[in-house]
A and B are shown apart, each in its own frame.
Chain A
Amino acid sequence: MKINPGGTLALEDIVGRDALVKDICVRLDLQSVILVAERRMGKTHVLAKLSNEAPAGWVVFRRDVEGVRSAAEFVQTIVADLHPHLSTSTQFGDWIKARAADLGGTKIGPLTLPNFQSKHWKQALCDTFDHVQDAKDLARVVFLWDEIPWMIQNIARADAQEAMELLDVLRALRQQHAKLRMVFTGSIGLHHIVRQLKAQGYTNAPTNDMAAIEVTPLDAPDAIRLANKLLQDIGWDTTGSTMAADIAHEVDGVPYYIHHVLSDIAKRPDPKAPLTPSDLRRLVRAAIQSAHDTWNLKHFEERTKDYYGDQRDACLALLDGIASAPTSLEVQTAINGAKASFPDIKQNDWIELVRLLERDYYLLRDPDTGHLAFKFSVLNRWWQWHRLSLPIMVEGGAS
């Protein structure tokens, strides 16, 4: 297994997602799923694993849809995916030919896909899934759509109404067709796109029938196993070594950062030279403090502008206060600290901001005490250094 931060892993190199994939399969038996996580947590690899390990009898289609720009184009991708499984159906074949004759077709290899125009895509989508429902040899059909929020965003930019309708049609299809399941995931939260649509008059809740499953950092044994494999790849003898455990702890078990740490270790003049725990902490600290932002941490600060709009400064004040505290804070203490700079914001609004920051992976509330801390120590350390010019105070390990 090779170190590969940001790249595509071979299936056999995806570590630690077996339980999660099983959970998703169990849930998919009952309902569709929306996978949620911070970016670079490994959602795409989870989909790859799910696609490969789906139960027998399931037909799974996996597609990155961020390049799709219209609902009609989206329907084309679905038809193209289903075609090999439905081509034996005479009715489906006749239907496709008829549509191509009416609407003109785009030839893709041996297949001619109809050019579904705006007014036709809805009907085409419903017809397609009617054919799916009729197909006796398809027991369960699962669509894994990666980057669906971006697709909706693309569509909404050209025609917000079309985006709204697509979301509603997909929901209706899930309700109508018992064998159909969908898994949505994406680099940005779909809730942000829906919020933008709501600002334009959208009133529905298009995913309230879907179960939200979070893709979390790896648990400790899996994170250690991943780190060990990567250490072995650069020639380390990991027998009896605690380095893998130290690495996993330092970066909160996030596989993306584990790969990055190993990449930094591999780039030393002698990759196999021993590292003490304090050497490791220094290496991680250097990466967090780096002006090059090779771990892509700055975006957490930058995206607050898009996420929170004119409440951004208040959110930053909350986060600054929590970062500057040596331990976790009571919610009200955190709010009081930020309130000093924004006295006009009402208490309820502060509570809502805290909730938003939790939802967007900045903060975590301790389940026992209810105290607030940064969810990821890596982000906490970045915040201390780059926003507050404080020497890094916290140790590794997620809250």
Chain B
Amino acid sequence: MKKTHAVAEAISPMAKKAMYLSHFTPSMMPPETLQAMLVQRGPLLQRTVDSVVHSVETTAKHHHLFVGPRGIGKTHLISLIHQRVSQNPAVQSKALIAWMREEEWGVTSFMELVLRILRTLDQAYPELGIDAQTQALYELSIAQAEEQATQILLQTLEDKTLVILLENLDDLFDQLKPTSQKQLRALIQNHPQFVLVATTPSLFTAITSQNSPFYGFFDIDPLEELSFEEVVELLEKIALERGDTSLATFIQSTEGRARIRAVHHLAEGNPRIYIIFAQFLTQEALDELVQAFMHTLDELTPYYQARMKELSGQQRKIVEYLVHYRGAATVKQIAKSCFITQQVCSAQLKQLREKRTVRSIERGRESYYELAEPLMRLCMEVKQQKGEPIGLFVSFLKIWYTKAELEVLLRDTKKATEQYLKYIERALSSSEGADLVANAVRTDFEKAIKNEALQVAGKILAELQSTSAATDRDWLVFGFMALQSAGGMSISMTESQSNTFVSAYERIFSKAKIPKKHVAPVVVALVELSYRLFLANSQNGMRMLKITMEVFLEHQVPVFIGILRAVMYASEKSESQKLWQQFSLDLIKQTVTVKSGHHHVKRIIRIMKVIEGLKENEKMTDSLLQLPREERLLVNLLLAKDMDFKLNYENQPSH
């Protein structure tokens, strides 16, 4: 069903605003919008502004270079730097600012660069009358024009500082031969009035090679991808910027966070992709935004196509493989998939890295390779799809909307353009994905567990719970980590979490089959953890101990060890610990009743006396040797923990 002309004309204010955001040109956006959408980089922004101001106010000069792939936020940052610096009183009186916009094509010599700077200054400061002075240059020889242009620039500055904001420095330096680079550096060194603040998609030879004039010249700041929390913050800010408070609230909910986590995996931390995705967060503008998004990609695609054309056939094969693979792959994997030898693959990857098309991640002796720019993948997918819905966005729809919501969208014929319907239908029919969210959340959960980031793991587990994908195993892993990290101190588990943990513990351990030789240390460890849980939540701690005893009842000696440990923990006189002691003794009674008679208690007392004796006098080994072997093992085990205890014998049941 085609959209009516009337509907096409009446684009809602929200759609307009969203389109404005999606066609993201930071250099043309009002400063308050840029500031509202800044995440992660507040301190970096302030530091850079401070150093530029310092460069203007003193004879020191700081030069900065921000490095990061397309869409990472370089222009956003430069725009904010420009905005803040230009409002600074010291800069207003003592400096001029030349903001050289994103692409400065056609600059192939030092003279052309100087002319371009002069032209930029003329546009920003027409009162200086620079244009009139530069007209005469075109009548001169190149050498004379170069000299004169430099003089005009220096005379224009007088004693002021010139702050040059320069984007895509790599492209500029690719065009400027080393001789011109040296002239530029000589100008900066001989006339310490210049400050460079530049950006580049990645480091390049003219900066990194020791033979290059600008080696070591810049204070380099790599711009990092957004972390998950920063993404949540960004999307919330975008929602608030659009006046959508209910969306902002949803974003911070457990369910919202789970969905965003899946989006995070798709977008690989690239802010521009998030900004594009953000447009899909409300339903109203979906159709227009597909178009707006395609427009953005249309602008980027020629750039990436040009880069692909520069590559050899084998290199293109490698890049296409990495586009589809969507992760970081080893040389062996890439070589195999591209039907080339590892040696050839390695050589080609080296060149691709030098061209800044791929980047490598070192893990020990292994190198992994991935695309340097996530937006490149998007553009190439679009090109390959040939009008079909873009895979990435279908995945996004599946993450963001439930099946029921997608079906509602499909039925909503008011918005039903062909393209719109294609996306919804594809999202519904795709076999990927209800698991997309759960998989993404699970991946992050396991990473948090591996990194022993307890609080983060707890938050993610709540998200996993909201997707109904949390398993008993997940709770067990989390609970054990929380208990082991506590070390006797307070445990970072809420009551609700510890309830769920213990229930999961019961379900898993009731079916667990542990080899006999491992039972003893396992039981001892579980009893210790039960005690730690008891300190935070007495009910759940006792519950866990009881479950442990019941599960391992058939293993007499380990149970005995466990109980003994349980009793030993209660040697202090605090109320809660007396409670633990009493509970443990009650368990002993039950064990005695059920299984093997009251001699366990006598064994406990006998062993305790030996241990106390050994603690007072290490040489009292005779008493140790009088014990049966399994009891000697127990004593050694207990002594190894070096626990300082005294058993209150008066409370023992008399037998």
**Residues of A near any B CB (own CB < 8 A):** 2, 4-11, 13, 39-40, 44, 63-69, 106-109, 146-147, 150, 154, 187-188, 256, 263, 266-267, 269, 291-294, 296, 298-300, 302-303, 306, 389
Contact = CB atoms under 8 A, between A and B. Distances in A.
28 contacts: A2-B62, A4-B61, A4-B62, A6-B218, A7-B55, A7-B60, A7-B61, A7-B217, A8-B59, A8-B60, A10-B58, A64-B185, A66-B182, A67-B110, A67-B182, A67-B186, A67-B187, A68-B186, A106-B144, A108-B147, A147-B182, A187-B210, A267-B43, A267-B44, A299-B210, A302-B209, A303-B210, A389-B365
B429 interface: no
A7 B62 contact: yes
Given A9-B60, A108-B151, A299-B209, 4 more contacts: A4-B60, A65-B186, A266-B47, A302-B210
- 7 nearest CB pairs, A to B: A67-B186, A299-B210, A67-B183, A64-B189, A8-B61, A66-B182, A10-B60
A154 B179 contact: yes
Given A296-B210, A306-B211, A291 B218 contact: no
A260 B183 CA distance: 27
Contacts of A266: 47
Contact of B219 (A7, A9, A150, A389): A7
B302 interface: no
- Chain A contact surface mostly: loop
A388 B213 CA distance: 29
B203 A293 contact: yes
B63 interface: yes
Nearest to B186: A67
Interface stretch (B356-364, B456-464, B473-481): B356-364
Contact of A263 (B59, B190, B219, B365): B219
B67 interface: yes
Nearest to B51: A2
Nearest to A47: B189
Contacts of A263: 219
A299 B213 contact: no
Contacts of B509: none
Given A7-B61, A63-B190, A64-B190, A106 B213 contact: no
A4 B360 CA distance: 29
Contacts of B183: 66-67
Contacts of B144: 106
Given A267-B47, A302-B209, A303-B211, A6 B219 contact: yes
Given A109-B151, A299-B208, A147 B186 contact: yes
Contacts of A11: 59
Nearest to B180: A67
Given A64-B186, A67-B185, A150-B182, A292 B62 contact: no
Contacts of A63: 190
A375 B560 CA distance: 63
Contacts of A291: 359-362
A2 B54 contact: yes
Contacts of B54: 2
B189 A6 contact: no
A213 to B, nearest CB: 21
Given A4-B51, A65-B186, A66-B182, A13 B60 contact: yes
A20 to B, nearest CB: 20
Contacts of B60: 2, 4, 7-10, 13
A296 B216 contact: yes
Nearest to B218: A6
A10 B59 contact: yes
A360 to B, nearest CB: 11
Contacts of B47: 266-267
B30 interface: no
A39 B147 contact: no
Contacts of A146: 189
Nearest to B185: A66
Contacts of B155: 109
Given A67-B183, A187-B210, A296-B208, A106 B215 contact: no
Contacts of B187: 67
A9 B60 CA distance: 4
Interface of B: 43-44, 47, 51, 54-55, 58-63, 67, 110, 143-144, 147-148, 151, 155, 179, 182-187, 189-190, 192, 203, 208-211, 213, 215-222, 359-362, 364-365
Contacts of A256: 216
B149 to A, nearest CB: 12
B219 to A, nearest CB: 5
A125 to B, nearest CB: 19
Given A292-B203, A294-B220, A187 B215 contact: yes
Contacts of A13: 60
A63 B186 CA distance: 8
Contacts of B55: 7
Contacts of A65: 186
B195 to A, nearest CB: 9
Central interface residue in B61, B62, B63, by most chain A CB within 10 Å: B62
Nearest to B189: A64
A182 B59 CA distance: 26
A56 B588 CA distance: 96
Contacts of B179: 67, 69, 154
A13 B360 CA distance: 39
B43 A7 contact: no
Given A66-B185, A67-B182, A269-B43, A40 B213 contact: no
A66 B213 contact: yes
B180 to A, nearest CB: 9
Contacts of A4: 51, 60-62, 219
Central interface residue in A6, A9, A10, A188, by most chain B CB within 10 Å: A6
Contacts of A306: 211
Given A154-B182, A267-B43, A6 B217 contact: yes
A7 B63 contact: yes
Nearest to A39: B210
A261 B359 CA distance: 25
Central interface residue in B192, B211, B218, by most chain A CB within 10 Å: B211
B251 to A, nearest CB: 23
Central interface residue in A44, A65, A299, by most chain B CB within 10 Å: A299
Central interface residue in A107, A266, A300, by most chain B CB within 10 Å: A107
A323 B59 CA distance: 41
A327 to B, nearest CB: 24
Contacts of B219: 4-7, 263
Contacts of B217: 6-7
Given A64-B186, A267-B43, A302-B210, A8 B192 contact: yes
A6 B208 CA distance: 13
Central interface residue in B143, B151, B203, B210, by most chain A CB within 10 Å: B210
A106 B215 CA distance: 32
A67 B183 CA distance: 4
Contacts of A7: 55, 60-63, 217, 219
A115 to B, nearest CB: 8
B216 to A, nearest CB: 5
B161 to A, nearest CB: 11
B57 to A, nearest CB: 10
A8 B60 CA distance: 5
A39 B215 contact: yes
Given A2-B60, A63-B190, A292 B185 contact: no
Contacts of B216: 6, 39-40, 256, 296
Nearest to B65: A6
A39 B211 CA distance: 10
Contacts of B192: 8
B358 to A, nearest CB: 13
A150 B147 contact: no
A66 B215 contact: no
A7 B65 CA distance: 12
A40 B218 CA distance: 12
Contacts of B184: 67
